[in-house]
Amino acid sequence: MTKIIGLTGGIGSGKSTVANYIASKGIPVYIADEEAKKIMEREDVKQKIQNLFSESVLNDDTSLNRKKIAEFVFNNPEKLKELNAIVHPEVQLHFKNWLNNHKDFPFVIKEVAILFETGGNKHCDKVILITAPEELRIERAMKRDNLTKKDILVRINNQLPDSKKKKWSDFIIDNINLNDTFLKTDEILKILAKT
């Protein structure tokens, strides 16, 4: 049976870099956030999301205004919960179908930013956690997402601290130096290939 390996890490930790590196080795990688974005643009899902908010969260071209949604939900845990209740089941169903198409592989990687927060780790055989010092994470996210330090800190505070995630992870990669990160990733892939 194909094993599911969870890959997670907070904003700016570099989990996408590691996910892309693993994918370059021919290992199937499911990027939950990317798939969620596509699913959220489906008409049926988009309508459910719009119904959550009193004002329009759509752009002129009827695509979702993600910035507006983020502003609404990041300071409102209840709204965030309601949004997740719409999106997460759809993503789980999508992943199930994706997994069926990759069942000939010994293991696949499922990259999820909020793996522990959603209890998704319970559905993984092993978990790889990507960490980095907070200042470095803030710097990376500011560069990549064009966000302010304040915006990033709000997101960091909405995620579980690494200290907790480390207790529940099977492998930890401190992503400070990219060469070291890739070497450590290779070691973990070798271990996973043997189990």
The binding site comprises 12-17
Please count the structural domains in the chain. 2
Domain assignment present for 118: yes
d(CA 92, CA 113): 14
Same domain, 64 and 12: no
Q: What CATH number did the domain enclosing 113 receive?
A: 3.40.50.300
Same domain, 6 and 79: no
Query: Which tens digit of pLDDT belongs to each residue from 148-162?
Result: 999 899 888 878 999
| Confidence category of residue 24, pLDDT binned at 50, 70, 90 | very high
Query: Which tens digit of pLDDT belongs to each residue from 39-49?
Result: 999 999 999 99
* 131 has a pLDDT exceeding 90: yes
Q: pLDDT at position 183, please?
A: 98
Same domain, 113 and 186: yes
Q: pLDDT at position 185, please?
A: 98
Same domain, 21 and 110: yes
Domain membership of residue 76 as a residue range: 35-90
Same domain, 84 and 170: no
pTM: 0.89
Residues 6 or more apart in contact with residue 12 via CB below 8 angstroms: 132, 136, 137, 138, 139, 140, 141, 144, 152
Same domain, 154 and 112: yes
Domain assignment present for 74: yes
Q: Sheet of 171-174: strands edge to edge?
A: 29-31, 107-111, 3-8, 126-131, 171-174
Same domain, 149 and 78: no
Domain assignment present for 96: no
- Using alpha carbons only, what angle is made at residue 37 by residues 91 and 135, rounded to the nearest 5 degrees? 105
The binding site for ATP comprises 12-17
